[in-house]
Structure formats: C-alpha cells, structure tokens
Amino acid sequence: MSGMHDVFHVSQLRKFVPDSSVTVDLELIDLEPNMTFQPQPVQIVDRDVRKLSNRSIPVVRVIWEGSPEGEATWELETGLVAERPMARSGELRQRKRLNFQDMFAER
C-alpha cells in the first residue's frame, strides 16, 4: 500500500448507519486458531489502473468469500499476486474474470 496516501481528514468520515437486513450467521465463519478471519477471494470482476501523480497503480475488483451479493472491493493487484503465487504466472493479467476456487482447488 505504499502507493496509496494513508492520511485522511476527520471530515471525510460518515456516521455508521446499521442495516438490519444484513445478518451474519456466526456458525458459518471459520476462525483461525488465533481467532482471526481471513476471507478468500472468489472472483476478480474488474481491472483498472489508477493514476497517482507520476505513478500507475494496477488494481482489481475482488468478490470475497461470504460477502453479500454484488459487494466487491478494490485491491492492489501487486498485493494479490504477492499472496497468491499462482497469479504471478500471468493468469491474473490474461483473464478479466478469474475464479480463485478453481485456481486453488489443490490446496
């Protein structure tokens, strides 16, 4: 995340408004032994290059395991490649939609 600006102003914050229609089934969450939860990426749905002064930062839009329908987040492509060595082979760049469940079925 060295390419992103990590400082923000308090005026950029918004009040949290809970949505009662979104519920989380605690039985379905797989916790690690150290009581953390790491969702796995399911699919890459979009790719973009963000311009930051004189740098180009490649980002991908990822649908995560267990996320609500239609919810995806923008992640740095380099971070995804570093965490998943198979993506380094070029498969991440060649395919617009990438199914991570197929990529990591051997695990």
Residue 28 binned pLDDT confidence (cut-offs 50, 70, 90): confident
Q: Could you tell me which residues are beta bridge partners of residue 46? A: 61
Residue 89 binned pLDDT confidence (cut-offs 50, 70, 90): very low
Q: Domain locations in the chain?
A: 39-107
Position 99 pLDDT exceeds 70: no
Query: What is the tens place of the pLDDT at every residue in 37-57?
Result: 878 888 888 899 999 888 999
* Residue 96 Cα distances to 43, 53, 91, 92, 106, angstroms: 10, 26, 9, 8, 22
Give which of 42, 92, 39 is closest to 63, Cα–Cα: 42
pTM of the model: 0.52
